[in-house]
Structure 1
Amino acid sequence: MIELDGLTKRYGGKTAVAGLTFTVRPGIVTGFLGPNGAGKSTTMRMMLGLDRPTAGRVRIDGRRYDQLQEPLHEVGALLEAKAVHPGRTARNHLRCLAYSNGIPERRVGEVLELVGLGAVADKRPKGFSLGMGQRLGIASALLGDPRILMFDEPVNGLDPEGIHWVRTMMRHLAAEGRTVFVSSHLMSEMALTADHLIVIGQGRLLADTSMNAFIRENSRSYVLLRSPEPERLRDALAAAGHRAVAGADGGLEVDGAEAAALGEVAAAAGVTLHELSPRQASLEEAFMQLTHESVEYHGRAQPPDGAPPGAPRGPGWGPGAGGPGTRGGEG
């Protein structure tokens, strides 16, 4: 279990993390979300003792990270996949980590096979692709068979098979009762992986809730109905106390009702339905809704109205609100 209590980090006059308090519990995958510059990486570095908090504290199973006698046996982390010695082979990189933490050498071969790098174990990582580097970083995190695992962008550079493997692995680790904490910008993947969400913006806690509750509380859910007799359907629904509004694509949308109940209303009125489907926003839509005010830089999908092709764009258009080429710092 990981416990944060009032965790704060300031750099001069800038507050990167502001009083974060939350608990990462075992047995589930906890997703860590936030826009660029939200303070995610800084928070994870403080969890691992790589940055010293300005205020507050982090406890890993009741202790600070620097109080752990053999940390790789208790916490495995992937923060920077390319943080390896360029002159060592993948096998020797893991051997050094194992030796420093009292881990049997046989475990090196096990994790190399587990992450799919057995065939390149004696090659130097400087020639690895981004995805292979990620696999080696994951192998390092798993080396000590720890009860707590932390991953920052673990599927970065992986192909679809690799992404599926990471997702399955994390859910399997959580099912074993381990604490799994993962940060990612891939909302579609997080929606398939995480059970619980911690969301921060501008260094502050915005949400600490289950995946289902997060989507429900930060988006609109409704039932979509389509019929060749839309007016009869609208009248039947109104008579039953349901307010139907026209959707953008020609259907009728009803909030606050179960699909089954609406189907029964249509059947009782003898109205034919071509579609009856519950609709709910995606994790990405809910995340955008919650964090909109916490985003440092907002881009536009199109140039300002009336701007000819190739014309200079003013502030507020392009990759960052500060002008073309501007981008936020990574969380």
Structure 2
Amino acid sequence: MIEVSALTKRYGDKLAVDDLSFTVRPGVVTGFLGPNGSGKSTTMRMMLGLDKPTRGRVLIDGKPYAALDEPLTQVGALLDAKAMHGGRSARNHLLCLAQSNGIPAGRVDEVLDTVGLTAVAKKRAKGFSLGMGQRLGIAGALLGDPRILMFDEPVNGLDPEGIHWIRNLMRSLAHQGRTVFVSSHLMSEMALTAEHLVVIGRGKLLADTSMADFIRDNSRTYVRLRSPERERLLDVLRQEGVSVTEGAEGTLEADHADPARLGELAHENGLVLHELSPQSASLEDAFMQLTAQTVEYHAHTGAGPAAVPPGAAPPPPGGVQGWGENQDRKGN
């Protein structure tokens, strides 16, 4: 179990993490979400003792990370797939880690096989693709057979087979009763992997809840109806006290309604329905809704005024590309 208590981190005037408290429990995959600049990476670094908190603390099974004996046997982490000596082979990289934590050498070959790198075990890591580097980093996290695992963007560079594999691996580890904490910007993948969510924005805790409750509490669910007798259907629903709004392309949207009851109402009133479909938001929809006011870096589409940095002259007639190149040469 990981316990984060009143965790705060300042870099000069910048408050990166602001009085953050949450607990990561065993037995489920806990997703860690937040916009860019929200403090996720800083939080994970403080969990592992790589950054010192300005205030607060993190306990790993009741102890600070620095107090753990042979930490790789208790906590496995992947924060940066490039954090390895490029001149070493994959096997030697893992062997060095194993020797530093009293892990038998035989375990190296086991994890290389687990992540699918046995065939390239003797090749130097500097020649690895991003996906192969990710697999080697995951092997390092698994090396000590730890009870707690932390992954930051674990699917970066992986092909579809690799993404499917890491998803099943994380679920399997959690089902074994381990603590699994994973940060990712891929909402579709997180929706398939995590059961619990911790969401932060600008260093503050925004949500600490189950996946299902997060989506329910931060999004709209409704039933979409389509009928050739739209106006009569609208009258029937409103007379029944159903909250209805008019949707796109002649549809009606009934909020917080039971689809079965709506179908019964249509039947009782002799109404033909061409569509009766419950609609629920995705994790991405709910995340965007919750974090809309905490996004630090906003991008704009198109080449209109919104794309011009504050205080800069508008692009010349030659187009945005030439303007951007001139700005780069000025160091902006």
Asked if TM exceeds 0.5, the reply is yes
Give the aligned residue type for 1:104: P
Taking the aligned partners of 1:276 and 1:103, their CA distance within structure 2 comes to 58
How far off its partner does 1:286 sit? 1.1
Give the aligned residue type for 2:48: L
Taking the aligned partners of 1:244 and 1:202, their CA distance within structure 2 comes to 36
- TM-score norm. by structure 2 comes to 0.91
Gap regions ≥5 residues in structure 2: 315-322, 328-332
- Which residue matches 2:9? 9
Alignment of 1:244-259 (within 5 A): 244-259=244-259
Q: What secondary structure is seen at the aligned counterpart in 2 of 1:297?
A: coil
How far off its partner does 1:315 sit? 3.0
How far off its partner does 1:282 sit? 1.1
Q: What secondary structure is seen at the aligned counterpart in 1 of 2:20?
A: strand
How far off its partner does 1:250 sit? 2.2
Taking the aligned partners of 1:301 and 1:261, their CA distance within structure 2 comes to 43
Taking the aligned partners of 1:14 and 1:315, their CA distance within structure 2 comes to 22
Taking the aligned partners of 2:49 and 2:139, their CA distance within structure 1 comes to 21
Alignment of 1:124-139 (within 5 A): 124-139=124-139
- Which residue matches 1:194? 194
Give the aligned residue type for 1:65: Y
**Residues 324, 54 of structure 1: CA spacing in aligned structure 2 closer, same or farther, 3 A cutoff?**
farther
How far off its partner does 1:313 sit? 4.1
- Which residue matches 1:315? 309
How far off its partner does 1:314 sit? 2.0
How far off its partner does 1:11 sit? 0.9
- Which residue matches 2:266? 266
Give the aligned residue type for 1:212: A
- Which residue matches 1:278? 278
Judge which range, 75-84 or 237-246, deviates more.
Answer: 237-246
- Which residue matches 1:60? 60
Over the matched positions of the two proteins, sequence identity in percent amounts to: 70
Give the aligned residue type for 1:314: V
How far off its partner does 1:239 sit? 2.4
How far off its partner does 1:240 sit? 1.8
Taking the aligned partners of 2:324 and 2:72, their CA distance within structure 1 comes to 43
Alpha-carbon contact 2:70-2:102 (below 8 Å) kept: yes
RMSD: 1.8
- Which residue matches 1:89? 89
Taking the aligned partners of 1:132 and 1:95, their CA distance within structure 2 comes to 17
Taking the aligned partners of 2:324 and 2:7, their CA distance within structure 1 comes to 34
Give the aligned residue type for 1:237: L
How far off its partner does 1:303 sit? 3.5
Judge which range, 281-290 or 35-44, deviates more.
Answer: 281-290
Alignment of 1:207-222 (within 5 A): 207-222=207-222
Alpha-carbon contact 2:6-2:57 (below 8 Å) kept: yes
Q: Deviations over 1:302-324 (max 9, x none)?
A: 343xx7xxxx942379xxxxx97
Alpha-carbon contact 2:230-2:250 (below 8 Å) kept: no
Alignment of 1:216-255 (within 5 A): 216-255=216-255
Give the aligned residue type for 1:133: G
**Residues 324, 19 of structure 1: CA spacing in aligned structure 2 closer, same or farther, 3 A cutoff?**
farther
Taking the aligned partners of 2:122 and 2:215, their CA distance within structure 1 comes to 45
Taking the aligned partners of 1:243 and 1:57, their CA distance within structure 2 comes to 47
Q: What secondary structure is seen at the aligned counterpart in 2 of 1:87?
A: coil
Alignment of 1:83-122 (within 5 A): 83-122=83-122
Q: What secondary structure is seen at the aligned counterpart in 2 of 1:110?
A: helix
Q: Deviations over 1:65-113 (max 9, x none)?
A: 0111010110000000111111110001011111111111111111101
Gap regions ≥5 residues in structure 1: 318-322, 327-331
**Residues 159, 273 of structure 1: CA spacing in aligned structure 2 closer, same or farther, 3 A cutoff?**
same
Q: What secondary structure is seen at the aligned counterpart in 1 of 2:248?
A: coil
Q: Deviations over 1:247-289 (max 9, x none)?
A: 0232110002111111111111121112111111111111111
Count of matched residue pairs: 315
Q: What secondary structure is seen at the aligned counterpart in 2 of 1:270?
A: coil
Q: Deviations over 1:24-59 (max 9, x none)?
A: 000000000111111100000000001111100000
- TM-score norm. by structure 1 comes to 0.92
Q: What secondary structure is seen at the aligned counterpart in 1 of 2:3?
A: strand
Q: Give structure 1 regions of 4+ aligned residues with deviation exceeding 6 angstroms.
A: 323-326
Give the aligned residue type for 1:61: D
Give the aligned residue type for 1:292: A
Taking the aligned partners of 2:14 and 2:30, their CA distance within structure 1 comes to 28
Alpha-carbon contact 2:17-2:39 (below 8 Å) kept: yes
Taking the aligned partners of 1:27 and 1:169, their CA distance within structure 2 comes to 13
Taking the aligned partners of 1:117 and 1:73, their CA distance within structure 2 comes to 21
How far off its partner does 1:297 sit? 1.7
Q: Is 2:33 the partner of 1:39?
A: no
- Which residue matches 1:21? 21
Give the aligned residue type for 1:246: E
Taking the aligned partners of 1:150 and 1:205, their CA distance within structure 2 comes to 19
